[in-house]
Amino acid sequence: MFFKTKKGKRITLVIIFLVIVLMILAGGGYFLNKKKSDSNNIPPIVKQIIALNEDIKKTTIAIYNTSGKLAGISMAQSRITDIKKAIELIGSLRQLVEENQNAIDRLLQFIDDNAGFFHRKNLYWVFFIKEFYMDHDVMQHHKSRANYLLTFETLLKYTYTNFKNIIELQSQQRMRNYDAYYMRYRRAADSHNKFNKKRIAFQTTFVEEHPEVNPFLPGAHQLGPFKFWDKFSF
Name the residue range of residue 194's domain.
42-216
Q: Are residues 52 and 154 in the same domain?
A: yes
Give dist(CA 101, CA 24) in Å, integer.
47
The pTM (predicted TM-score) of the whole model is: 0.76
pLDDT at position 116 over 80: yes
How long is the chain? 234
pLDDT at 202: 93
Q: Are residues 90 and 19 in the same domain?
A: no
Q: Does residue 223 lie in a domain region?
A: no
CATH number assigned to the domain comprising residue 99: 1.20.120
pLDDT for 118-128, tens place per residue? 999 999 999 99
pLDDT for 187-217, tens place per residue? 999 999 999 889 989 999 999 999 999 888 8
Who wins on pLDDT, 111 or 40?
Answer: 111
Give dist(CA 8, CA 147) in Å, integer.
83
- In the chain, what are the helix, strand and coil shares in percent, each to the nearest 5? 80, 0, 20
pLDDT at 37: 43
SS3 11: helix
61-70 LR contacts (CB < 8 Å, sep 24+)? 62/96, 63/93, 63/96, 63/97, 63/100, 64/219, 64/221, 64/222, 66/92, 66/93, 66/96, 67/93, 67/222
Calculate the dihedral angle through the C-alpha atoms of 32, 36, 41, 46, rounding to the nearest 10 degrees: 120
pLDDT at position 222 over 70: no
Q: Does residue 198 lie in a domain region?
A: yes
217: exposed, middle or buried (C-beta count within 10 Å: 0-12, 13-18, 19+)? buried
Q: Are residues 91 and 181 in the same domain?
A: yes
Q: Does residue 8 lie in a domain region?
A: yes
Q: Does residue 101 lie in a domain region?
A: yes
Cα–Cα distances in angstroms (integers) from residue 133 to residues 12, 26, 150, in the given order = 64, 45, 22
Give dist(CA 92, CA 96) in Å, integer.
6
pLDDT for 68-106, tens place per residue? 888 888 766 568 888 999 999 999 999 999 999 999 999
